[in-house]
Structure 1
Amino acid sequence: MNGPLLAAGITAAGVALVHLVAGHADPVRPLLASGLAQVPKRTLHAVWHLVSVNLILAAATLVYLALAQPQGAHLAGQLLAVHFAAYAAVFLVITLTFDGTQRLLRLPQWLLLLPVAVLTWIGST
C-alpha cells in the first residue's frame, strides 16, 4: 500500500464532498436563481457537474493506485498531481485578483487542492 497516495485519495474524496455540498449551496444555487441567460447558466451548471465527476473519479483513482499499485501507477499519480496542482494554481491566480488583506481566503479552494497535489506527488516519486 502507498500511504501518501491513499492519504491523497481520501483528501481528494473530502474535496469532492465539500465541492458537492458547499458548491451546491454557493455558487450553484445563486447561479441558477440569477437572471443570466439560459444557455450560459446551464453551461456553467454543467461545468460544475463535470468538475464534480472529475473530482470523484480522481479520488477513486488515487485510492485504487494506492491500494492496487498497478504497473504505471507512478506515471498516473504524477499526472494526477499535476492535475490537482493546476486546479490549485487556477484558484490561487484568480483569488489574487481580489483586493484586501483576506484575498487569499476569498476563494479558498486552492487550500484544499494543493495538499492533494503534494501528497500525490510524494506518493508518485
Structure 2
Amino acid sequence: MNGYLLASGLTATVVSAIHIVAGHVDPVRPLLASSMADVPKRTLHAVWHMVSVDLVATASTLLVVAWWQPAGSELVAVLTAVRYAGYSVVFVVIAVRVPVRAPLLRLPQWLLLAPVAILAGLGGS
C-alpha cells in the first residue's frame, strides 16, 4: 500500500464531501435563487455537479491506486497532483483579485486542494 496515495485519497474524499455539502449551501443555492438568465445559471449548476463527479472519481481512483498499486499508479498520482495543483492555483489567482481583506481566506478552497496535490505528488515519486 502507498501511504501517501492513501492519505491523498482520504483527503480527496473529505474535499468531495465538503464540496457537495457546503458547496450546495453556499454557492449553489444563491446561484439558483439569483436573477441570472436561465442558460448561464443552469450551465454553472451543471458545472458544479461536474466538479462533484470529478472530485468523487478522483478520491475513488486515489484510494484504489493506493491500495492495489496497479501498473501506472505513479502516472495516475502525478497527473492527479498536477490537476489539483492547477485547481489550487486557479483559486489563489482568483482570490487575490477579490478586493476584500484576507482574500485567500475568503476563498479557502485552495487550502483543501493543495494537500491532495502534495500527497499525490509524493505518492507518485
Matching of residues 1-125 of structure 1 within 5 Å: 1-125=1-125
CA distance in 1, matches of 2:103, 2:51: 23
Query: TM-score when scaled to structure 1?
Result: 0.98
Which amino acid is 2:118 matched to? V
Identity %: 58
Runs of 4+ in 1 over 6 A off after TM superposition: none
1:100 positional shift: 4.1
1:114, 1:58 → 2: CA distance? 14
Q: What do you get for the CA RMSD once the two structures are aligned? A: 0.7
Cα distance in 2, alignment partners of residues 18 and 115 from structure 1 = 14
Q: What are the superposed Cα offsets for residues 20-43 of structure 1, whole Å, 9 maximum, x if unpaired?
A: 011000100000000001000000
Q: How many pairs were matched up?
A: 125
TM-score (norm 2): 0.98
Aligned-residue offset at 1:18: 0.3
Which amino acid in structure 2 is aligned with residue 12 of structure 1? A
Structure 2, unpaired ranges of 5+: none
Structure 1 residue runs without a partner (length 5+)? none
Letter in 2 for 1:60: S
- The Cα of 1:99 is off from its aligned counterpart by 2.6
Alpha-carbon deviation of 1:98? Answer: 1.7
Q: Secondary structure at the match of 1:36?
A: coil
